[in-house]
Chains A and B, each alone.
Chain A
Amino acid sequence: MRWLSRSYLALVYLLLYVPILVLVVFSFNDSRTGYNWGGFSLRWYESLFSNHAMVQAMWNSLWLALTAATVSTIIGALTALALHRYRFRGKKVLNGMLFVVMMSPEIVLAISLLGLFMLVGLKLGYVSLLLAHVTFCLPFVVITVMARLSGFDERLPEAARDLGASEFTVTRTVLIPVIMPALMAGWLLGFTLSMDDVVVSTFVSGPGYEILPLRIYSMVRVGLKPEVNALGSLLLVFSLVMLMLSQWILSRSKQ
């Protein structure tokens, strides 16, 4: 029974990881057809970086992810602090809206935002992408920060207040240091979510601001492109580093 369940686990993990391994191995394949092994080569990485539009899309994506993660971390942290500390009317409604964002299918969020941007006449491009990405990252940051705050000694900010600190000072000097690990983890998750999003970006991006996932999307729709293997492998390594960093931050803060 024990070996059976172990080998079952191993089998499922194998199925989950084989396609990823195939992708990485094939990114070093010299053959153009993409199916047969034609020897080791870095040509697809070279062709990736010599493609001007591709490099531009990479920079656009990085900048978008950087700003979206930062804004969503700031707003998400403030939301979590407000939900945790303040009593105000409509708290349940606020919670409900965050829940809706997290649970609703991405495509529903995407069309609702497209509708809004069209209605107010916002030109689709960097700003519309930023607003959309911040919105779908927000609940993840809130949850991460709330989890950190749940075990927090409430008497600490109370004491600071009694000693005459303003609410802003309490937040800056007492609360922010406490939630710092959660902020970093939330930022990393937001960054990754933004870098990987296809569904929402398909709707709210404009012709002037091309981002990486959409470029990949237009490439893979027609046949096989060996450059995508190289690009995918790079993105994979990148996400892995981000994830390990975030796990390390969270586990270190627990000790």
Chain B
Amino acid sequence: MLQSIKQQPFRAAVLMLVWGWLLFLVLAPNMLVVGASVMTRDPSTFISLPLNLDAYRQLFNPLYLDVFLHSLYMAAMTTLVCLLIGYPFAWALSHVGKRRQTLLIFLLIVPFWTNSLVRTYALKLILATNGLLNSALMSLGVIDEPARLLYTEGAVIIGLVYLLLPFMILPLYSVFEDLRQDVLLASHDLGAGRLATFKNVIVPLTLPGVLAGVMLVLLPAMGLFFVPDILGGSRNLLVGNVIKNQFLDARNWPFGAAASIVLTLTMALLIFAHRLSKRHLGEEGA
């Protein structure tokens, strides 16, 4: 070690900086969360001994279990809607001419670069009781009284879909781009109809893209606490809202940490499924 520092001081300095940063600001904090989740709540130092699993038990308290299941339901609906909109969209996008495709992809990334808080707020302008959508529907004579759109479960799902749709479309687009025309032609030549080709060829080949999209949408859809804060009212909370409340208001760190570990485990599970589907495809393709 010492010798290598003397021989290549620059290389050693680079590696030390990089390792230092990641160990201190990624590994250590994550270990800390795991540790905090099995400790006891303490009003002055936040966490203290003894070790126990109370925080995990508290997750199954009916009050919180309801919030978790409701959050999971809203996240699942968001993911489903994104998939239903995004799948045909990605297919259509991959069939546009190359030059125009560049522009369309650019238009898809713009939201990623713009303030998501501001865009959520823009939805509020549209969904509010005397907002644009209600005024438009009333002047068209579709409804007589303004409908209650804001502060509903639907508003939260709309907000999440609006923010996360590009994250579903981009991985789907990349698998559709890789989908080779000759495979589809072969399926056709072998006598498969459109439906059979879709079911037996297109769906399995685009599955890694679907899983990648699900991963990129489902998890943020449980964490983006500002969406229900702005659009959902107090009854449509996400896991993210629970974690935020436990850390910043209730000061119950073990419980907040346990909730976030549930999120992390969900992520790990999805990544594992994604890897598996890719490997599966790789073996069959070879």
Contacts and interface: CB of A to CB of B under 8 A. Distances in A.
B29 A97 contact: no
B230 A220 contact: yes
Interface string A228-246: 1101100110011011000
A138 B19 CA distance: 13
A66 interface: no
Interface residues of A, number: 79
Contacts of B263: 105, 107-108
A33 B132 CA distance: 13
Given A22-B125, A22-B132, A199-B226, A97 B119 contact: no
Given A9-B92, A111-B256, A97 B26 contact: yes
Contact of A167 (B11, B115, B119, B229): B11
B200 interface: no
A163 interface: no
Nearest to B30: A112
B18 A8 contact: no
A236 B118 contact: yes
Contact of B15 (A34, A82, A138): A82
Given A19-B123, A199-B223, A166 B10 contact: yes
A213 B115 contact: yes
Interface string B204-237: 0000000000010001101111100110000000
Interface stretch (B64-72, B180-188, B242-250): B242-250
Contacts of A131: 25
B92 A115 contact: no
B125 A116 contact: no
A43 to B, nearest CB: 17
Given A105-B267, A112-B33, A20 B10 contact: no
A231 B122 CA distance: 12
A187 interface: no
B43 to A, nearest CB: 14
Contacts, number: 216
Contacts of A114: 247
Interface in B1-29: 8, 10-11, 14-15, 17-19, 21-22, 24-29
A198 B226 contact: yes
A77 to B, nearest CB: 10
Contact of A115 (B33, B215, B248): B33
Interface stretch (B48-56, B106-114, B137-145, B276-284): B106-114
A19 to B, nearest CB: 4
A198 B26 contact: no
B46 to A, nearest CB: 7
B152 to A, nearest CB: 17
A247 B132 CA distance: 34
A168 B115 CA distance: 39
A6 B92 contact: yes
A216 interface: yes
A198 B36 CA distance: 24
A106 B117 CA distance: 14
A138 B17 CA distance: 13
A196 B223 contact: no
A240 B114 CA distance: 8
Contacts of B128: 35, 224
Contacts of B8: 167
A195 B122 CA distance: 18
B26 A196 contact: no
A160 interface: no
Given A105-B220, A232-B118, A240-B110, A78 B95 contact: no
Interface string A75-109: 10011011000101010001001101101111111
- The 6 A-B residue pairs with the shortest CB-CB distance, nearest first, are A112-B29, A232-B118, A19-B122, A5-B92, A105-B223, A23-B122
Interface of B: 8, 10-11, 14-15, 17-19, 21-22, 24-30, 32-33, 36, 46, 85, 88-89, 91-93, 95-96, 104, 106-111, 113-126, 128, 130-132, 135, 162, 165, 215, 219-220, 222-226, 229-230, 240, 243-244, 247-248, 253, 256-257, 260, 263-264, 267, 271
